[in-house]
Structures are given as C-alpha cells and as structure tokens.
Chain A
C-alpha cells in the first residue's frame, strides 16, 4: 500500500491513513509539514492531535468509513510555516512578479510582499475511505496549495480593499448629500463663470425652480444683480476661501417675485489645479426685512408723534396767547376807561373779547376733533342730504361770523339727487376749505364755490385769489400742524386740512388742489354719490 500510494501521489500529495478510532496507521514522509503539531503526528497517535481540523467532524468521518458518505474536503487550510517549507518562497516571488506585471503597473505593496514570503502554508485536505485486509480505513490526502492561495490572497486583498474604499466613499457621499439636502439654507455651487452645478432642496424651494431647471443655467437667473456677481468674480480671482458673508441681495424667484437673500460666498478648488468653483449659501431674509420695515415705520410714527406733540404745544401756546392777550387787554381797557367810553366803543371791546373767546373755542373744537380723527374714532354716518340747501346754509353761517362779509359765489350745477353723505363730516370739509379761502385771501377778492355731480361723483370746488401755497409746502400741506411759510400773522392751527383729508377719506373720496403763490388756490373734493 505504502509504495503504491507513494508512487501514485508523489510529488503533489502527502497522505495519512487512519483506522476507525482515528489512530494514525501510516503517513507519507513529508506529511508532517502539514501538521499543526508535527511532533504529534506519529504512528499510533490520534490524528486530531496533529490535525485539529478533524475535531468536531467525527460523525462525518464515521459516515465515510461506513461507506455512507464518499468523501469530505476542506480547502485552503492555513498553517503556520515550519522552517523547512520556506524553500518555497523563491518560486512564489517569481509568480507574484509575473502576476503584478499583467494585473497592472503597480509594484507589490509591503502587505503583498509579506504575503509573498508567507508565514503561512496552505493545503487542501481530502478524506476518503479504502479497504485493506477486509477492513475499512480512512485515507487523508494533503495537497500544498500555498501558491494558489497566496495569489488568491493578493487578489482578494485588492478586491476587498477596493470594496471597503467604495463602501466608505458611498457612505460619506450619502452622508454629505443628506446634510446638503437637509440644510435649511439654500446652497448653490457654480463654476467660476457662474454656471450652476449643484443646488439643494432649500434652494429649489426658495427660488421655485426644480433641479433640472437650474442645473447648467447661469446663476444670474435667480441673482440678477450683475454688480454683485462681478464683485464675487473679482474677489475670487484674488482670494480663496470665504469671499463675503451675509451680503443682502435681491433675488428673483421663478414667479418673478423679488426676495431678499443674505448670501455668503466662498471659493473651492476643483480637482483641476487653478480651476475654482463658487459656493453660495443663501438665507431668505424677506421676513426679517419685513419686520425691519415695520420697526422703521413704528419708529417713524413715534418720531411723528413726538413732533406732533411739540408742534401742538408750540401751536397751542401761540394760538391761545393771541386771543388771551386780546381778552386781557380789552378787559383792562374796559376796566380803566370803560366809564368814560361811549356805549358803542365799549360794545366794540366786548365784541373783541367775544371774538377771542370764540376763536379759542374753535381752536379747542379743532383739537378735539383732530384727536378723534387720530384715534380713529371719527364716525361715518351717511344720510340722504339736499346738497344745494346744505351749501347755501353753510355759506350763510360762515358769513354771519365775519365782520367784513366776503363775496362767495356759489354755483350749483347739480343735478345731485339721492345723495348720501355724512352731514357732520361734510360740514367740517367745506367749512375748513371755505374759511381757509377767506382767511388767506385779501378782502374783497371773490371766492368761487361750486358743486356739481358727474360720473357718480359729487365735485366741490373752492377757488380763491389769495396768497397761494408755496411749492415747497404743497407736499406736506395735509400733515397736521403744518402751515405754509407765507401765512404770516394769519392765525391757524394747521389742523384744518388734516381733518378735511380724514373726513374725505372716510367718504371714500379724494381731495386735491392746485395753487400758485400770489395768484390763488383751488381745492377740489370728489366724493362718491353714495
């Protein structure tokens, strides 16, 4: 048996034969090199002491022995190399170099070199059964496959390393993609010339474009500010890294809306040296801008209120002082000289006091009315009204209160049927405009007051030939307490026209005027018929 086996198997295989108790019966001469503990591989010993691979598969071995299974094979068992087997490594190096030549130009790495002089020996183990002296025995064939396994290791090493790298790159790419996608800020990457390469979800939402609509398109599509883009280009040429931070720019969405976006921009180097890309990170600040605008309006309002207050104090002190002085001086004169004066003269002074009191009362009325207007408490109660009569009564009333009766020409061209207006408010409107016309016109100059209805509107026009309103005052004429520069000593609160404007607005109408200094002024009030 031994000689036959040796002839058959040599030089590629070594062998062992075993009895049913796994006791070694025979071994080929170099079988020891495959043993885990070569000193244990002796005849009469349990084979498992030298080949621990057989531990655990005793049932399988028994099956083979009994002919219930033909064979069992374990491939590529690695064994720490024994001293003698190092002879092998020279031929391995030759094979490895050959392998490297056809695989690529790469020189073997240190890892691979250590594999080429492997500390490990690889073998395949094949177990089968044979009969000798009518007794079943086991034969274990051992084949050295170190060369194949080392090459397989090099291949497997490269493939696995590549796969690990791929897995790590994919994971990192996915992670970065997720970060970019979930960013609340809009992110855009463009080429140096401004062609969009990458955009994230937030950018798509902010500008209303889909990814396909923006990729490969110029960034000017959403960032029409050419000066800003030029500035970035200039900076990019001379800098690297962050170029600017939180720059507020007006952008345009797909629907054409303008939005405020705060952009930070940086330069990134591409894989090609000298070729750069630009990264824009934008945050929608439209809401912040709106709040800022609201705050500015509130501040402006507060400033106006402060001005109003100071204007009111200065107006009140001035406007009250004049009639008070008139009352004080008249009463003093009456007190000292009244007994010597004629009844007519005394009456004149009494009337002067009465006039001053009326003026103060009017002033207080105006202030109260204005405070109502400001607080939004002015009520609007439209009722049917006969316009012609209302106007005529108003003119009479005004003329009654004035010593030197002015000439007011009233032209009613109608027809104004079924007119519905707030009588109180209309009185404020017309009374203020007419008394202004009288107040700021020289005596004996005509005042024309017309009322007509056309195209569903009632038109009142009050025309005078008075001092006129300087151009620079016309813009602010309806502001409270504002009085034109050329009023001189003519008394006034500066509230009349502010009240007029509010009352007209409550009617849903408009008030306009034309004026020229020294020529005269025409006020035009248009109110809807109903």
Chain B
C-alpha cells in the first residue's frame, strides 16, 4: 500500500473554527474555548481510500495546515499557501462578514495554486436555524466561485460534515488529472 502526502490549507477569518474543524477531524474532539492561532500548525492524518478505482489500497497522508486567521490588521501570508493541493475555506455562519470574505480567500488561494481545488465550509451551523442556514448557502451558491468543488454546512461541535469535507478533498486530490 502506497502512501502519498499532500498539503491542505484551512483559510478563513479569525475565530471561524479552523482549528476546531482540524481538531474534530484529527482527534475527534471539540472545545468551546477560543484560542487564537498564530503562525501555522501542521497536523497529520492518514486516510485509506480503498475504493479508489485507479490504484487499490491507496492511502493519503493529509498534512493539514492550520493557518492564522485573517484579521483586519493582518492578512494571510501567501507563502503559507504555496504547494497546497487543496484548501478548505471556512466561514462562521453567525458572522456574515466572514461569509462575505469567502470569495476573497478563494481568490487568494487559487492565485497561488491555480490547479488546486477548494471546498467551502460554513461552520458553526449548530448555532443558527435551518431556514437562515439555507439562505446563506444560497447566497454562496449564487456566486461563481472557481475551483470550488463543494459547499458544506459544518459543525466542529457536532461533527456535522467534518469528515466528509476532508474525505471529499482527499478524493479530489487523488483524482487522475
């Protein structure tokens, strides 16, 4: 069984739950306490993708880059994004401004990695009602976002769609070009 290592970046505004999504995916844990990330922290998780048709019993080591969130004082440094195979662009459904900045983050990521894919995670979906959630989803869907392969309403707290977004990216990364 061969193992391929690929870099995946989580980008988005500060406090949207990037670290929490990684923690949920890698460790299966969640904490309500907010601890702001500075710099970058890399976590690893290897997932088996046995049903992949091209090459049976392949596994992917995901090197998940938890980047310091965008603030009005400090933007995301493009050097962190270089060589990334995919990105998860995260927003907080309870803060509309973080959703409004999604295209900006996608633009930054795709300008550095023109061939990589991105997935959008509308996180903290457990905090708002379904009706509002659907409206926000439509808001994003109405925009033409290049290289975006999916839009999910996630919750690091409940685990909703967390594994799915990483899984989906893994398949996309290993997809024959």
Residues on A close to B: CB < 8 A? Answer: 36, 48, 52-53, 55-60, 72-78, 111, 115, 120, 122, 149, 152-153, 156-157, 159-161, 163-164, 167-168, 171
Choose from B15, B41, B68 the contact partner of A120 (Cβ within 8 Å).
Answer: B41
Q: A52-B44, A111-B33, A156-B38 are in contact. Are A74 and B73 (CB under 8 A)?
A: no
Q: How far is the CB of B95 from chain A (nearest CB, A)?
A: 5
B35 touches A157 (CB 8 A): yes
Choose from B39, B73, B82 the contact partner of A76 (Cβ within 8 Å).
Answer: B39
Residues on B close to A: CB < 8 A? Answer: 5-7, 14-15, 33-42, 44, 63, 68-69, 71, 73, 77, 79-80, 82-85, 94-97
Supplied contacts A56-B84, A153-B38, 20 more A-B pairs, CB within 8 Å: A52-B5, A52-B63, A55-B83, A74-B79, A74-B80, A76-B38, A77-B39, A78-B38, A78-B39, A122-B39, A149-B39, A156-B36, A156-B68, A156-B71, A157-B34, A160-B34, A167-B95, A167-B97, A168-B94, A171-B95
Q: A56-B6, A73-B79 are in contact. Are A163 and B39 (CB under 8 A)?
A: no
Residues of B within 8 A of A58 (CB): 83
Closest to B5 in A: A55
A59 touches B35 (CB 8 A): no
Mind listing 6 A-B residue pairs with CB under 8 Å? A48-B5, A52-B5, A52-B63, A57-B83, A122-B39, A157-B36
A164 touches B15 (CB 8 A): yes
Provide the main secondary structure of the chain B interface.
Answer: loop
Choose from A60, A72, A76, A111 the contact partner of B35 (Cβ within 8 Å).
Answer: A111
A78 to B73, CA, bound (A): 21
Residues of B within 8 A of A152 (CB): 38
Closest to A110 in B: B33
Closest to A158 in B: B36
Residues of A within 8 A of B34 (CB): 157, 160-161, 164
Residues of B within 8 A of A52 (CB): 5, 42, 44, 63
Closest to B73 in A: A159
Q: How far is the CB of A501 from chain B (nearest CB, A)?
A: 66
A78 touches B40 (CB 8 A): yes
A163 to B5, CA, bound (A): 36
A160 to B17, CA, bound (A): 13
Provide the main secondary structure of the chain A interface.
Answer: helix
Residues of B within 8 A of A111 (CB): 33, 35
Residues of B within 8 A of A48 (CB): 5
B71 touches A74 (CB 8 A): no
Closest to A152 in B: B38
Q: A76-B68, A159-B73, A167-B97 are in contact. Are A53 and B33 (CB under 8 A)?
A: no
A18 to B14, CA, bound (A): 36
A75 touches B39 (CB 8 A): yes
Residues of B within 8 A of A163 (CB): 14-15, 71
A52 to B68, CA, bound (A): 18
Q: How far is the CB of B109 from chain A (nearest CB, A)?
A: 13
Residues of A within 8 A of B82 (CB): 56-57, 60
A76 to B42, CA, bound (A): 11
Residues of B within 8 A of A57 (CB): 82-83
Q: A160-B14, A163-B14, A163-B71 are in contact. Are A149 and B38 (CB under 8 A)?
A: yes
Choose from A72, A74, A115, A171 the contact partner of B40 (Cβ within 8 Å).
Answer: A74
Closest to A75 in B: B39
A75 to B39, CA, bound (A): 7
A72 touches B79 (CB 8 A): yes
Closest to A115 in B: B35
A163 to B74, CA, bound (A): 14
Q: How far is the CB of A124 from chain B (nearest CB, A)?
A: 9
Residues of A within 8 A of B38 (CB): 76, 78, 122, 149, 152-153, 156
A56 touches B85 (CB 8 A): yes
Q: How far is the CB of A221 from chain B (nearest CB, A)?
A: 39
A55 to B7, CA, bound (A): 7
Residues of B within 8 A of A122 (CB): 38-39
Residues of A within 8 A of B6 (CB): 55-56
Residues of A within 8 A of B33 (CB): 111
A78 to B69, CA, bound (A): 15
A161 to B33, CA, bound (A): 11
A75 to B63, CA, bound (A): 17
Q: How far is the CB of A433 from chain B (nearest CB, A)?
A: 77
Question: A56, A58, A72, A75 — which one has the most chain B CB atoms within 10 A of its CB?
Answer: A56
Residues of B within 8 A of A75 (CB): 39, 77
Residues of B within 8 A of A115 (CB): 35
A160 touches B42 (CB 8 A): no
Residues of A within 8 A of B94 (CB): 168, 171
Choose from A77, A149, A159 the contact partner of B42 (Cβ within 8 Å).
Answer: A77
A48 to B3, CA, bound (A): 14
A120 to B84, CA, bound (A): 23
A55 to B40, CA, bound (A): 15
A77 touches B7 (CB 8 A): no
Q: How far is the CB of A64 from chain B (nearest CB, A)?
A: 13
Across the A-B interface, the 5 shortest Cβ-Cβ residue pairs = A76-B39, A56-B83, A56-B7, A78-B41, A57-B83
